[in-house]
Amino acid sequence: MTGLTYWGPFVLVVVSNVLYHNIAKWTPITLSPMLGLSITYLISFLLCIAAYVYTGSPFRQDIQELNWASVVWGIVLVGIEFGYILLYRAGWEISIAPILINITCAIILIAIGIFVYNESLSMKQGIGILCCFAGLYLIR
């Protein structure tokens, strides 16, 4: 699969991630992180509601599909964003922190994929994992 439907989401995540880390770093140190995140989530909420209404999706049907995942996802997102704000305030470099975090998360997710979701790992992927470990060692 190629084209916009395949690479479009990839580009969206990359651009959003780059902006995300810069904005987290630019958040004034004197601003309460929780107030900043409250405004962030208010804007996010309004954008999501507007996008949802635009899709014309049936609310009564959609509301029945909600489960615990949306609630826990909200908690986890606050943890990630609050953590990054604190990370940058503690002096972590924007060029190092996301790399270390993403490699660490990738290694943990590989283990979860194998042991929880029964995903398989190729030799090539195993070599990539070893490179991640080497990268962690070299970056630190």
Per-block mean pLDDT, blocks of 10 residues, the chain (140 long): 85 94 95 96 97 95 95 96 96 93 90 95 91 85
Phi, psi of 121 (to 5 degrees): -125, 130
Specify whether the CB–CB gap between 121 and 110 falls below 8 A.
yes
Element (H, E) at 39: helix 33-55
pLDDT at 114: 94
The whole model's pTM is what?
Answer: 0.86
